[in-house]
Amino acid sequence: MIGVVGKETEQTRRSVGIEFADAGLEAGVGRILASVEEDLRQSVLSADPLVAEAARHLVDAGGKRFRPLLVALAAQLGDPTSPDVVKAAIVVELTHLASLYHDDVMDEAAVRRGAPSVNSRWGNVMAILVGDYLFSRAASVAAELGPEAVNIQAETFARLVHGQIAETSGPRDGEDKLAHYLRVIAQKTGSLIATSARFGGMFARVPAEQVDALAEYGETIGIAFQLSDDLLDIASESEQSGKTPGTDLREGVPTLPVLYALASDETDTASVRLRQILSTGPITDDALHAEALGLLRESTAFKKARETVRSYSDRARSSLAVLPDQPARRALESLCDFIAERTG
């Protein structure tokens, strides 16, 4: 078991940038993650072999397990040995996995986590239905935790859906595009990460004031992490971001640096040229794509986006002020540092 604990914790730590300066903390978090990994596979079992195979598909593919990690870390501030902590981590991870099945259908994705996506292998209808099945499994596990957990999971699910609808429908009449984008990220990404941190504290019996602080931290750090991914898509090499640089530009996805660039009123030649290229939508021409990437990397808009990421990271850190000065708090703070620094 020790080997498994070390492996799960190290993989997750490296993928999300949390530093474990305390061996006891790392071991405690690792035990929870190892139990989550084992119980996840049991949670998606079905009497129907096809449903079981498709439901297990993304579980077996692995992933960051960022949400279970936050559950486990928050639980270290109370009683992390409570069996409800593992169940809470499974609820948030199943909810996350279910949303990925639906996302892949909407994005027409062919690959997820290095493996063929469920929709490319079994078709869109199957992917949607299996996603629904995973949502139902998450609700079933939440029911074991009591009515408050069911309520929170349901509200989180509603926010996820609202975020997806808002992203699909676009800004409302008169709504600022940047405000819309940040609202989508808060709902689609921040909401479940907030619930992860909240659940960890709740089911480890952390004081209510600290649970609220953990939830605020989770939502803010979730937004910061997503926004930093926007910057990495432009600034990084493929091995750092996990995808080809400029993928969002090529697909016409208006991320934070692009929105800042389009809203700029700068009149220098580079800024004007950048707005001209970005205004065309998806940039599929290789020469224009390379030009846009180069201009964005040197733009004021990119620097402003980097400052925005740092501001969210700082806000997340400040929300931890009410927590006791323990290794778990310092590990959560290290994630703030990682996100602030990963984009330069």
pLDDT at 102 over 60: yes
323 contacts: CB under 8 Å, gap ≥ 6: 77, 210, 213, 214, 329, 332
Residue 31 pLDDT: 94
- Residues 44-65 have a mean pLDDT of 78
Most confident residue range from 122-126, 164-168, 260-264: 260-264
Residue-wise pLDDT tens digits, 142-164 = 999 999 999 999 999 999 999 99
For residues 227 and 242, what is the distance between their CA atoms, to the nearest angstrom? 15
Asked if residues 34 and 85 have their Cβ atoms less than 8 Å apart, the reply is no
Q: How confident is the model at residue 63 (pLDDT cuts 50, 70, 90)?
A: confident
Q: Residues 335, 341, 344, CA angle at the centre, nearest 5°?
A: 160
For tokens 């604990």, the residue is 5
Residue 165 pLDDT: 92
Q: How confident is the model at residue 3 (pLDDT cuts 50, 70, 90)?
A: very low
| Cβ count within 10 A of residue 119 | 25
Residue 238 pLDDT: 53
Asked if residues 235 and 344 have their Cβ atoms less than 8 Å apart, the reply is yes
Does residue 115 sit in helix, strand or coil?
A: strand
- Residues 306-324 have a mean pLDDT of 96
Residues of the chain with pLDDT > 70, as a percent, come to 90
pLDDT at 117 over 80: no
Residues of the chain with pLDDT > 90, as a percent, come to 65
CA 191 from centroid of its chain's CA atoms: 9
Q: How confident is the model at residue 244 (pLDDT cuts 50, 70, 90)?
A: confident
| Cβ count within 10 A of residue 334 | 16
Residue 1 pLDDT: 31
For residues 217 and 33, what is the distance between their CA atoms, to the nearest angstrom? 21
For residues 289 and 58, what is the distance between their CA atoms, to the nearest angstrom? 32
Residue 265 pLDDT: 94
- Residues 64-92 have a mean pLDDT of 95
**47-66 per-residue burial string, b: 16 or more CB within 10 A, e: under 16:** eeeebbbbbbbbbeeebebb
Residue-wise pLDDT tens digits, 192-225 = 999 999 999 999 999 999 999 999 999 999 999 9
